[in-house]
């Protein structure tokens, strides 16, 4: 078997694997433009006459359905995701830099302990979080959900930023300090610009985690004033029926902002994964 044939087989294998991975997403996007009747009857998706924008009109109250508070859900998702991401970056930047550049007692133990907290599935914490948050009055509040997402994102953010700073030679900081810079100036003017790719990658992952999270948000939010868009998918379920078409349309509205953001910052994302993900 020559090299060209091996490469062809490899690319075909990758194509079919990626096609299988993308198939559920493609199914959701297609059904977002089809009525419930077509979905439940397994009508041929190649029949273009069955496609319509009525599902999106119904969500925004321009059809037969009662309008959902879409702007409130979108605003909640943006506020909670952006706030938790910014806080996670601040904490992660401080923690990652400290682990990468400074020596202190039990450094490795603390780092491993912090990483182990990320191995606990979020859904396993739903019951204790609900009990604690109910006693603190944080149920159905945006700060309560922001704190949860902050705790979920900090370990990964610290790990990624720590790995990225380890790729920056400490001699650059020392040279800047010899030239008259303070420790803060050396960090801000020399090290921080070189670490922007890793910081951006950490921010993207933190944002997507908060934006797409459903399990904890469904337990800790109740009203349109706090519900995020993934939780709003439950508005399409009733006691005996499920509005699959409306749910798929809502899912598309959730996917689009995350997809656009990923394409806009994919250069930083790849740089952060390739350079910051390696421990020195």
Q: Which pLDDT value is given to residue 271?
A: 60
Q: Which pLDDT value is given to residue 246?
A: 87
Q: Which pLDDT value is given to residue 259?
A: 85
Regarding pTM above 0.85, the answer is no
Cα-Cα-Cα-Cα torsion 86, 203, 267, 11, nearest 10 degrees, comes to -160
Q: For the chain, what is the largest distance between any 2 Cα atoms, rounded to a whole number of angstroms?
A: 74
Distance CA 56, CA 159 (A): 40
Length of the chain: 280
Integer angstrom CA distances of residue 61 from 77, 110, 154, 213, 257: 20, 52, 39, 26, 21
Give kind and range of the element (H or E) at residue 95: helix 70-101
- Domain range 70-276, CATH class: mainly alpha
For every one of its 280 residues, what pLDDT tens digit does the chain have, with 9 covering 90 and above?
677 888 888 889 998 998 888 888 888 999 999 888 888 887 788 777 888 888 888 888 776 666 778 889 999 999 999 999 999 999 999 999 999 888 888 888 998 888 888 888 878 888 899 999 999 999 999 999 999 999 999 998 998 888 888 888 888 888 888 888 888 888 888 888 888 878 888 888 899 999 999 989 998 998 888 999 999 888 888 767 788 888 899 999 999 888 888 787 776 666 655 554 444 4
Side-chain half-sphere exposure of 154, counting CA atoms within 13 A = 16
For the chain, give every domain's residue range. 3-59, 70-276
Query: What SS3 state is found at 274?
Result: helix
Distance CA 80, CA 228 (A): 8
Question: Nearest-CA neighbor of 166 among 216, 231, 215, 98?
Answer: 98
Distance CA 269, CA 37 (A): 41
User: In Å, how far from its chain's centre is CA 52?
Assistant: 30
pLDDT digits (tens, 9 = 90+) for 53-104: 888 888 887 766 667 788 899 999 999 999 999 999 999 999 999 998 888 8
The answer to whether 199 and 161 are in contact (CB under 8 A) is yes
Q: Which pLDDT value is given to residue 188?
A: 85
């Amino acid at each position: 078997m020559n090299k060209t044939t091996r490469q062809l087989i490899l690319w075909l294998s990758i194509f079919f694997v990626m096609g299988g991975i993308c198939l559920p997403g493609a199914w959701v996007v297609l059904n977002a433009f089809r009525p419930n009747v077509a979905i439940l009857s397994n009508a041929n998706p190649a029949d273009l006459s069955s496609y319509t924008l009525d599902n999106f009109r119904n969500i925004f109250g321009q059809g037969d359905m009662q309008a959902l508070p879409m702007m409130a859900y979108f605003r909640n998702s943006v506020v909670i995701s952006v706030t938790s991401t910014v806080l996670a970056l601040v904490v992660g930047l401080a923690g990652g830099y400290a682990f990468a550049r400074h020596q202190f007692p039990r450094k490795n133990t603390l780092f491993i302990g912090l990483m182990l907290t990320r191995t606990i599935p979020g859904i396993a914490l739903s019951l204790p979080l609900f009990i604690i948050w109910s006693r603190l009055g944080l149920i159905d509040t945006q700060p309560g959900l922001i704190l949860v997402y902050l705790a979920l994102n900090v370990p990964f953010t610290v790990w990624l930023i720590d790995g990225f700073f380890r790729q920056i030679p400490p001699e650059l900081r020392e040279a800047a300090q010899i030239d008259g810079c303070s420790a803060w100036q050396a960090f801000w003017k020399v090290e921080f610009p070189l670490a922007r790719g890793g910081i951006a990658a950490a921010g993207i992952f933190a944002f997507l985690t908060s934006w797409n999270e459903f399990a904890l948000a469904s337990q800790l939010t109740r009203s349109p004033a706090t519900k995020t868009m993934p939780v709003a998918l439950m508005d399409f379920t009733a006691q005996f029926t499920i509005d699959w078409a409306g749910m798929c349309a809502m899912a598309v509205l959730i996917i689009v902002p995350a997809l656009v953001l990923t394409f806009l910052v994919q250069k930083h994302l790849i740089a952060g994964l390739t350079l910051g993900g390696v421990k020195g």
